[in-house]
Amino acid sequence: MPDPELAATVQHSGGSYPVVAGWGLLENLGDRFLELELKNTAYIITDENVMRPYGRIAQRALQKRGIAAHCFIIPQGEPSKNFELAQGIYQWLVSLKAERGQAIIAVGGGVVGDLAGFVAATFLRGLPFVQVPTSMAAMVDASVGGKVAVNLPQGKNLVGAFYQPRAVLADVATLSTLGKRELAEGWAEAIKHGLILDTDLFELFEEHAEDLMALEPELSTEIIRRSMAIKAAVVSQDERETLGIRILLNYGHTIGHALEASTDYGRFMHGEGVAIGMMGAGRMAQRMGLIPQEVVDRQRQILQRFSLPIDAKGVSGVSLDQVRQAMSLDKKTDGGAIRWVMLEKIGKATVRQDVPPELVEETLRELIS
Ligand SMILES: NC(=O)c1ccc[n+]([C@@H]2O[C@H](COP(=O)([O-])OP(=O)(O)OC[C@H]3O[C@@H](n4cnc5c(N)ncnc54)[C@H](O)[C@@H]3O)[C@@H](O)[C@H]2O)c1
C-alpha cells in the first residue's frame, strides 16, 4: 500500500531514501525506524529546546519498539555547529560503544541536523543517519539533500560533506511550538520553492496564507510535503551542486546572505534575509525585462501576508558598504561574476551572470537606504 505520508523519494549515487511528513509522526517513530532495517540501538542528538518534549517523545517511541535510544543534548543555536561539540559527541559515542550500523538520529532544527550529520558522516567512517527535523527551515530545506557541516571561526559551513540520510521523518505538529516569526521565516523557503519551480504551489500559498500562518494541520502538512518534494527533486537531479540545478534553490540568497553576514547574523533570520533578497532579485529581473511588474507585485504581496520583510530600510546596523563587501565574498561567484538566480515567471527560475553592476548597486540602495 502506498505510504500516505510519503512526500518524495530522493535518488542519489548511493541509493535512495524516503522523505516523509505527517502530523503526529513522532509517536510512531519506532515503527518508522524499524522499516529502515537498522540495528536496534540509536543515538539521538537534539538541543536543549527540542529535548522536551520532542527528544523525549522520540526516545520513548523508539523504546516502545524495543530500540535502545540514548540522547545527547547540545546547547541551542548556531554556535553549537563546532568541532569541539562534534568531538564531545564522538567521545560520548565511544563511551557507549557505538558500532557500525547503529544510527544517529537528529531531532531538531538545521543546527542539530548539520552537526549530527557531520558526526554521522565521520564517526567510524560513517554511521547510518536519520533526520527528524522539527523547525520549518529544517523540514523544507536543511534535512533534505545530505549537506552536513560544522562552522569555523572564519565562516559558516566551511567543513562538511555530502552525506545522505537513510530517511527524513518530519512531524509537522512539532512546528506548533515555534514563534510566529520563526514560522514565517521557515515559510519563506517554502514560498521560494513555489516561486522557482512550482506555480501551483505558489498559488496554494496565495489561497491559504492565513491558514498556513495559523498552522492548520492538514493544509500545512500537505504544503510542507510538496515543498519537501521540490527540494527532493532538485537534489536528486544535482546531488553535489555541479549541474547548475541545485543552485536555483539559492533564489534570494545572494542579497539575503549578505544581509545576514554583514550584520553578524544578529538582525535577520535566514528566511527574512531570503525574503528581502528575493525582492531584490525580482526588481532586477523586472528591470532587465525578464518578468513583468505583476510578478514582482505578487511576490511582494505573498511575503507581506506572511509578515516577512520586503526591504531592510530603517533596520539599525545595516550598512550598504558591508553588504557590498559580504556579497563579494559570496560562494556563488564564478570567476568573479555573481551568479544571480532570477525568475522568468512564477514557477520558473534561471541563472544569470550578466546583471549590470549599476543595477545591483541601484537595487541595493533601494532595499537598504
Ligand atoms: N544542510 C543544509 O542543506 C542546510 C540548508 C539550510 C540551512 N542549514 C543550516 O540550518 C541551520 C538553521 O536551521 P534552523 O533555522 O532550524 O536553526 P536552529 O536549528 O538553530 O533552530 C532554530 C531555533 O528553533 C529551535 N527549535 C527547533 N525546533 C523547534 C520546535 N519545534 N519548537 C520550538 N523551538 C524549536 C531551536 O532550538 C533553535 O533555538 C543553519 O546552521 C544553516 O546553516 C543547512
Cβ atoms of 25 and 174 closer than 8 Å: no
pLDDT at 337: 79
Task: Mark which of 159, 177, 195 sits at the end of a domain.
Answer: 177
Which pLDDT score is estimated for 369? 81
Q: What gap in Å lies between CA 361 and CA 351, rounded to an integer?
A: 19
Do 58 and 95 share a domain, yes or no? yes
Specify if 53 maps to a domain. yes
Instruction: Decide: helix, strand or coil at residue 145.
Output: coil
State the pLDDT at residue 87: 98
CB contact at 8 A, 104 and 42 = yes
Residues 173 and 192 in one domain: no
Look at the chain and report how many structural domains it folds into: 2
76 with 125, same domain: the answer is: yes
Asked which of 154, 177, 200 is the last residue of a domain, the reply is 177
List b or e across 295-320, with b for residues whose CB sees 16 or more CB atoms inside 10 angstroms. bbebbbebbebbbbbbebeeeeebee
User: What pairing do the DSSP bridges indicate for beta strands 348-352 and 340-345?
Assistant: antiparallel
Shared-domain flag, residues 230 and 267: yes
Among 157, 177, 197, which residue terminates a domain? 177
70 is catalytic: no
Q: Which atom of ligand 1 is nearest to the CA of 54?
A: 31
Nearest Cα residue to 225 out of 22, 54, 27 = 22
Structural domain of residue 85, as residue ranges? Answer: 6-177
User: To 5 degrees, how large is the angle CA 83–CA 88–CA 89?
Assistant: 95
Q: What is the mean pLDDT of each run of 10 residues along the chain (369 residues)?
A: 94 97 98 95 98 97 98 97 98 98 98 98 98 97 97 92 98 97 96 98 98 97 97 95 92 96 91 98 98 98 98 90 87 72 97 94 94
Main-chain dihedrals φ then ψ at residue 202, nearest 5 degrees: -60, -40
Burial class (CB in 10 A: 0-12, 13-18, 19+), 216: middle
Contact 87, 52 (CB under 8 A): no
* Ligand 1 geometric centre to CA of 300 (Å): 25
CA 84 to chain centre: 24
CATH number of domain containing 357: 1.20.1090.10
Q: Domain with 128 in it: what CATH number?
A: 3.40.50.1970
Q: What is the pLDDT of residue 333?
A: 58
CA 171 – ligand 1 centroid, Å: 15
Position 15 scores a pLDDT of: 96
Do 222 and 333 fall within a single domain? yes
**pLDDT value of position 316:** 85
In a domain, 1, yes or no: no
Residue 168 shares a structural domain with residue 186: no
**Per-residue pLDDT, 1:** 80
Q: Is residue 114 included in any domain, yes or no?
A: yes
pLDDT for res 315: 87
To the query of whether residue 241 is one of the catalytic residues in this protein, the response is yes
Atom of ligand 1 nearest to the CA of 144: 3
Would you say residue 167 lies in a domain?
Answer: yes
Q: Is residue 319, in this structure, part of any structural domain at all?
A: no
